[in-house]
């Protein structure tokens, strides 16, 4: 049977009113696409994977954005760089907490596996040295609980760049806690500050120039009582009274448009007590000292101006032996190094247009006659005081400090008589043009326990 007959039979066997079926689906697409999709399982699998990837990416981005939004609402961070003083305070506080136990510890710690060591090394002039180590939190993440709140500390170190002045790498501390506990940051930093200042309370801090900034030099020192420095009658009281009057007249200066700064020059022979008196006066007024060496290598006019305009609060600026620094207006050291500080630059730093205010400057010299008149005029040096060799009454008061009231075999009346004998000897030698420094007398009394022997052998001290 041929195809025409078969077609006729099929047509006659179908119901006369039955519609022709229409297939909907893959067969309804173009023949080239139907063949490609229907016959290519790789395409079907790839399409499914792509759909899953797109879906996962959308979910991941959504979760990430949700986490960021949740973090912004629930967490708060505090950043500290190692250029800020709070950075060192907080690291010291962390190290201190790690050493504490029981009730004395303000924070409970999760043990950290990332530690750094900080070494404090001191080389003394007599050849001896000492070194102390402190373990602090190193780069990485650290966790602790402070007053019931968990905090994360993240210390990051930038190894590709360093600070130009100190050569140290840039570092950042980031503290993270719940937003509800943000107020604890102030309490924590206050504790760190108080701990850092604890060793300095009631003590004198000496700062030295380090690059373009001031840094503490050595450990804080015990304040020296002002009365322990024996000067001629009325000399120390004169400087102290003037300094106190200056500190109490800040508004008076402002009302009259006068720069709020004061300059003092203490001159006299070596060993007369100039520097000792300045240290004692700073301690008496609860001031620190910024020691500035005009002969320091690398110190130029611009750096000098910056340092003098950016001293720590409540600090004296002390420059010793200014006659040596500007002798003939050129300073050259033994190795041929010539200071970069010019005399005019120094004068401008003292009272120029760009010079700082609210400061007290102390200059010392052994030879006032070598100083240029432009340096010691009013406005740069407001009060000049002679701190001389031992006067008779000075020698007597120093003698009494060493021997009166001590447990010795000589009666007190005899000690008083020995003191008067020493005073008469100093007056006689003074009239003859021979003098003795207070430093020489003090060293003599330290070496000699017996007051009678001290007076008898003091004759050899006069020059």
pLDDT digits (tens, 9 = 90+) for 151-188: 989 988 876 666 655 557 788 999 999 888 889 999 99
Burial (CB count within 10 angstroms: exposed 0-12, middle 13-18, buried 19+), residue 369: exposed
List, in sequence order, every residue forming a beta bridge with 81; answer none if it has no partner. Answer: 172
* Kind of pairing between the strands at 203-204 and 169-178: unpaired
Contacts of 264 (CB under 8 A, 6+ apart): 239, 242, 243, 360, 361, 362, 363, 381, 382, 383, 384, 385
Burial (CB count within 10 angstroms: exposed 0-12, middle 13-18, buried 19+), residue 205: buried
Which uninterrupted H or E stretch holds 398? helix 392-403
Tokens 């993240």 found at: 154
The model's pLDDT over 186-215, given as tens digits with 9 standing for 90+, comes to 999 998 888 877 766 678 889 988 878 888
How far is the C-alpha of 243 from the C-alpha of 230, rounded, in Å? 19
pLDDT for residue 18 is more than 50: no
pLDDT category of residue 9 using cuts at 50, 70 and 90: very low
How far is the C-alpha of 8 from the C-alpha of 413, rounded, in Å? 159
Residues 441 and 398 sit within 8 Å (Cβ to Cβ): yes
Residues 388 and 436 sit within 8 Å (Cβ to Cβ): no
Give the number of other Cβ atoms within 10 Å of residue 370's Cβ: 13
pLDDT of residue 23: 45
pLDDT for residue 443 is more than 80: yes
Closest CA to 350 of 283, 264, 426, 272: 264
HSE-up of 232 (CA within 13 Å, CB side)? 13
Distance of CA 378 to the CA centre of its chain: 33
Contacts of 175 (CB under 8 A, 6+ apart): 77, 78, 79, 80, 151, 152, 153, 154, 185, 188
Superfamily name with CATH number, domain 221-386: P-loop containing nucleotide triphosphate hydrolases (3.40.50.300)
Please state which of the ranges 5-19, 22-36, 250-264 shows the lowest mean pLDDT.
5-19
Q: What is the mean pLDDT of residues 405-426?
A: 83
SS (H, E, C) 401-429: HHHCCCCCCCCHHHHHHHHHHHHHHHHHH
The tokens of 128 are what? 């001896």
pLDDT category of residue 241 using cuts at 50, 70 and 90: very high
**Residue 381 phi, psi (nearest 5):** -120, 105
pTM of full prediction above 0.75: no
Contacts of 201 (CB under 8 A, 6+ apart): none
Residue spans of the domains in the chain: they are: 76-198, 221-386, 392-461
pLDDT category of residue 109 using cuts at 50, 70 and 90: low
pLDDT for residue 7 is more than 60: no
* Kind of pairing between the strands at 261-267 and 359-365: parallel
Angle (CA) 423-427-428 rounded to 5° is 115
How far is the C-alpha of 227 from the C-alpha of 329, rounded, in Å? 37
């Amino acid at each position: 049977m041929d195809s025409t007959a078969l077609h006729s039979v099929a047509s006659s066997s179908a119901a006369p009113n039955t519609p022709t079926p229409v297939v909907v689906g893959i067969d309804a697409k173009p023949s080239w696409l139907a063949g490609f999709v229907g016959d290519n399982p790789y395409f079907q699998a790839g399409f499914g994977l792509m759909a899953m990837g797109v879906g996962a990416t959308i979910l991941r981005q959504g979760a990430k954005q949700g986490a960021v939004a949740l973090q912004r609402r629930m967490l708060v961070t505090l950043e500290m760089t190692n250029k800020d003083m709070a950075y060192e305070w907080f690291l010291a506080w962390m190290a201190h907490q790690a050493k504490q136990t029981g009730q004395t510890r303000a924070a409970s710690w999760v043990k950290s596996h990332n530690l750094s060591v900080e070494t404090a090394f001191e080389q003394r002039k007599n050849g001896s040295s000492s070194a102390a180590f402190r373990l602090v939190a190193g780069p990485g993440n650290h966790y602790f609980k402070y007053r019931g709140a968990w905090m994360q500390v993240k210390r990051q170190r930038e190894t590709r760049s360093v600070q130009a002045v100190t050569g140290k790498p840039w570092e950042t501390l980031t503290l993270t806690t719940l937003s509800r506990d943000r107020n604890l940051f102030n309490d924590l930093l206050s504790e760190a500050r108080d701990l850092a200042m604890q060793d300095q309370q009631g003590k004198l801090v000496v700062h030295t120039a380090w690059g373009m900034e001031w840094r503490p030099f050595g450990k804080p020192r015990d304040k020296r009582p002002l009365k322990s420095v024996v000067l001629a009658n009325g000399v120390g009281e004169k400087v102290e009274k003037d300094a106190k009057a200056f500190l109490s007249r800040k508004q008076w200066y402002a009302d009259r448009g006068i720069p709020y700064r004061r300059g003092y020059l203490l001159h006299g022979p070596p060993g007369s007590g100039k520097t000792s008196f300045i240290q004692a006066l700073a301690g008496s007024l609860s001031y620190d000292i910024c020691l500035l060496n005009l002969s320091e290598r690398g110190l130029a006019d611009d750096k000098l101006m910056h340092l003098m305009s950016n001293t720590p609060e409540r600090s004296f600026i002390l420059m010793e032996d200014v006659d040596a620094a500007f002798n003939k207006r050129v300073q050259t050291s033994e190795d041929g190094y010539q200071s970069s500080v010019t005399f005019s630059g120094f004068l401008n730093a003292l009272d120029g247009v760009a010079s700082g205010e609210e400061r007290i400057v102390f200059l010392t010299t052994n030879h006032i006659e070598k100083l240029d008149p432009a340096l010691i005029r009013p406005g740069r040096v407001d009060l000049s005081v002679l701190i001389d060799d031992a006067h008779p009454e000075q020698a007597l008061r120093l003698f009494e400090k060493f021997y009166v009231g001590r447990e010795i075999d000589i009666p007190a009346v005899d000690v008083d008589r020995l003191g008067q004998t020493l005073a008469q000897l100093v007056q006689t030698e003074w009239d003859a043009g021979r003098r003795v420094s207070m430093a020489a007398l003090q060293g003599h009394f330290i070496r000699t326990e017996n007051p009678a022997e001290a007076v008898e052998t003091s004759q050899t001290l006069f020059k």
